[in-house]
């Protein structure tokens, strides 16, 4: 352990020096095992009875309709220890639409039907019906959950899921307190308006979100920091007595270390976080420990989660702004603001300095510099990637047209999900359940990713990438120009059922020579990764989790318009699948006719 500690301690000074020393001592003295709780540890069952329905709420001061769980927005936080079982009895109280919930970052080993993906791992839960999600949270980390049916994440169906280390285990860092921040974006037009617009010919885009929310709270039409603005029409927010949209303030004591858990369930926006006069130490991403690094600000894309350590070492007689701003899109949404309140002051005391300014939205060099600092902690809980792969799949991300409709496509195929969940169709050999044509593994070599497509037309499909069980798979996510000239968007991709190693990022079109850039020593181990405009991202994972898994862009409109693929592995190795998961489509018909699906 000596060498890693020397490496970690050397670059840091000031307020974080003692923190890093503590980190190194803990690494060298503590024998902490994988986040999966060992058999001799106490494991608990956490049971929840949830009802999903719409209700009136004011997330940003303007009353609107939101999706709620048990009358709460965001939904209740789930907290468990690694190795525990979570059991959620979910009842759909919506009157006109189905619902499912995806437990983002939980790998669902042995329970793929609990992944919460409609038409992939289960049937949508119909109005008035219930479904039991029962699964093991096998690793400590920062996670969240959200709707995975239609545009329900945009409608507010989400909440936090925090997994602490197993009883008797320790984190590889010390902190005195903790905050959980769930980040989202919010439109004043309903998710149904958005869905209809995206599905119209021509497409009718409702535009950028009106507000950024922190733990479901934001401020629209006013500013917490209006007194710093030259805009005389900008009013000061009066949040007194407005619990639904008053900012979530972080109350801290001086000279302590706090863990801030960050999760982004935004439907569209990529965000940047900065805290006035304070640096952050980044220590976790997507449930996996990192080589800690210090930063002034942090980029977080939809689907990602991080933990940062904050040392409250600044003037305790003052408060400090925490700001979140939009990255990767020309901002039409104001920064979200809240306050880091040193409890030696009143929380209503404004900071002396204006809020930190988010880096320019298209400063991708800044974003790439941050992303390239994210490296796996060199420790046995994070496996090293295999040195070679068995199969490579290249996925070209393009915007296309189909009969006048705007689509997003992968290798010129826009995903259209079937009526029967893939899990049932594959498990029981139902050939008519989905397209049996193998989806393309690459795109034409002559395709110019730097220009709009010469032929913008696409097709729809719902074929599956059938993976060899326990094979090593490389995925090259290749970005390209959209339909408009000089436009290439950020795409954060999320893989269900697995973590992957992020081997490298690159510019332009990926070539065989780019393999020289692969980091096989300490690549980050994650479940979400970004592709930058006109670039590529190389991933590697082991197909070791029997089931059928979604792999898609985590931007809600992009997925809705077809930007995803489906992977399957080892499905025949699964035990009996609960019939409640497969009570629709062809599998539902078999249940109705009395045929047994064991």
Give the pLDDT confidence score for residue 379 in this predicted structure: 66
Q: List, in order, residues 6 or more apart from 582 with CB less than 8 Å away.
A: 113, 122, 123, 420, 421, 423, 424, 588, 591, 597
Query: What 3-state DSSP class applies to 557?
Result: helix
Beta bridge partners of 131: 90
Give the pLDDT confidence score for residue 597 in this predicted structure: 52
Q: List, in order, residues 6 or more apart from 208 with CB less than 8 Å away.
A: 268, 269, 326, 329, 331, 332, 333
Query: What 3-state DSSP class applies to 575?
Result: coil
pLDDT in tens, 340-370: 999 999 999 999 999 999 899 999 999 999 9
Give the pLDDT confidence score for residue 29 in this predicted structure: 34
Residue 316 CB burial class (10 angstroms; 0-12, 13-18, ≥19)? middle
In CATH, which superfamily holds the domain spanning 391-588? Cupredoxins -  blue copper proteins (2.60.40.420)
Q: Please, are residues 287 and 305 in contact by the beta-carbon 8 Å criterion?
A: yes
CATH fold of 14-171 reads Immunoglobulin-like (2.60.40)
- Please give the torsion angle defined by the CA atoms of residues 496, 498, 502 and 503, in that order, rounded to the nearest 10 degrees: -130
In the chain, list all ranges with CATH 2.60.40.420. 14-171, 178-372, 391-588
Q: How far is CA 354 from CA 114, 166, 240, 348, in A?
A: 46, 42, 21, 15
Q: Please, are residues 429 and 533 in contact by the beta-carbon 8 Å criterion?
A: no
Q: How far is CA 232 from CA 19, 31, 236, in A?
A: 44, 58, 10
Give the pLDDT confidence score for residue 192 in this predicted structure: 96
DSSP designation for 375: -
CA distance 18 to 23: 9
Give the pLDDT confidence score for residue 551 in this predicted structure: 98
Residues of the chain with pLDDT under 50: 1-40, 595-596
Phi/psi of residue 423, each to 5°? Answer: -55, -40
Q: Cα angle vertex 492, ends 209, 447, to 5°?
A: 110
- Beta strands 336-342 and 250-252 are parallel
Of the candidate CATH numbers 2.60.120.260, 3.40.50.2020, 3.40.50.620, 2.60.40.420, the domain formed by 178-372 belongs to 2.60.40.420
**Which has the closest alpha carbon to 264: 430, 348, 142, 440?**
142
Indicate the angle between helix axes 17-29 and 2-9, nearest 10 degrees: 170
């Amino acid at each position: 352990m000596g060498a890693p500690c020397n490496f970690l301690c050397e670059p840091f000074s000031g307020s974080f020096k003692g923190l890093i020393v503590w980190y190194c001592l803990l690494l060298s003295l503590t024998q902490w095992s994988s986040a999966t709780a060992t058999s001799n540890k106490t494991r608990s069952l956490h049971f929840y009875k949830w009802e999903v329905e719409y209700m009136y709420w004011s997330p940003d001061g303007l009353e609107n309709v939101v999706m709620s769980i048990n009358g709460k927005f965001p939904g209740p936080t789930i907290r468990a220890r690694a190795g525990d079982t979570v059991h959620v009895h979910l009842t759909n109280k919506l009157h006109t639409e189905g619902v499912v919930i995806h437990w983002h970052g939980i790998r669902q080993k042995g329970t793929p039907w609990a992944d919460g993906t409609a038409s992939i791992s289960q049937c949508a839960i119909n109005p008035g019906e219930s479904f039991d999600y029962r699964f093991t949270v096998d690793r400590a980390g920062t996670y969240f959950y959200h709707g995975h049916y239609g545009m329900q994440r945009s409608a507010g169906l989400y909440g936090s899921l925090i997994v602490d280390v197993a009883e008797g285990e320790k984190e590889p860092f010390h902190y005195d307190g903790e905050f959980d921040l769930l980040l989202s974006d919010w439109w004043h037009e309903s998710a149904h308006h958005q869905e209809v617009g995206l599905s119209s010919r021509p497409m009718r885009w409702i535009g950028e979100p009106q507000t950024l929310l922190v733990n479901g709270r934001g401020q629209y039409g006013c500013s917490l920091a209006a007194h710093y603005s030259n805009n005389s029409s900008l009013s000061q927010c009066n949040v007194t007595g407005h619990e639904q949209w008053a900012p979530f303030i972080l109350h801290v004591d001086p000279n302590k270390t706090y863990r801030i858990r960050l999760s982004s369930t935004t439907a569209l926006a990529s965000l940047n976080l900065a805290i006035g006069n304070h640096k952050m130490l980044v220590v976790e991403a997507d449930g996996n420990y990192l080589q800690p690094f210090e930063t002034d600000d942090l980029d977080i894309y939809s689907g990602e989660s991080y933990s940062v350590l904050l040392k409250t070492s600044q003037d305790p007689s003052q408060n400090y702004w925490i700001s979140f701003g939009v990255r990767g899109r020309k901002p039409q949404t104001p920064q979200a603001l809240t306050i880091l309140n040193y409890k030696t002051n009143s929380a209503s005391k404004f900071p002396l300095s204006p809020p930190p300014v988010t880096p320019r939205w298209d400063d991708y060099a800044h974003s790439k510099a941050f992303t390239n600092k994210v490296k796996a902690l060199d420790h046995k809980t994070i496996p090293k990637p295999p040195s070679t792969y068995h199969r490579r799949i290249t996925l070209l991300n393009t915007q296309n047209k189909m009969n006048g409709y705007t689509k997003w496509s992968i290798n010129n195929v826009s995903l259209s999900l079937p009526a029967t969940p893939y899990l049932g169709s594959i498990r029981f050999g139902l050939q008519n359940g989905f397209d049996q044509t193998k989806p393309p593994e690459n795109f034409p070599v002559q395709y110019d990713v730097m220009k709009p497509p010469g032929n913008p037309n696409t097709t729809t499909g719902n074929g599956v990438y059938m993976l060899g069980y326990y094979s090593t798979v490389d995925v090259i996510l290749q970005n390209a120009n959209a339909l408009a000239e000089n436009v290439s968007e950020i795409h954060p991709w999320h893989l269900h059922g697995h973590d992957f190693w992020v081997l490298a990022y690159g510019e332009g079109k990926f070539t065989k020579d780019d393999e020289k850039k692969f980091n096989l020593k300490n690549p980050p181990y994650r479940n979400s990764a970004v592709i930058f405009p006109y670039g590529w991202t190389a991933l590697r994972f082991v197909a070791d989790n029997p089931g059928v898994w979604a792999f898609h862009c985590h931007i809600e409109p992009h997925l809705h318009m077809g930007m995803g693929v489906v992977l399957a592995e080892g499905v025949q190795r699964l035990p009996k699948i609960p019939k409640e998961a497969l009570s629709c489509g062809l599998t539902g018909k078999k249940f109705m006719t009395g045929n047994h699906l064991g």
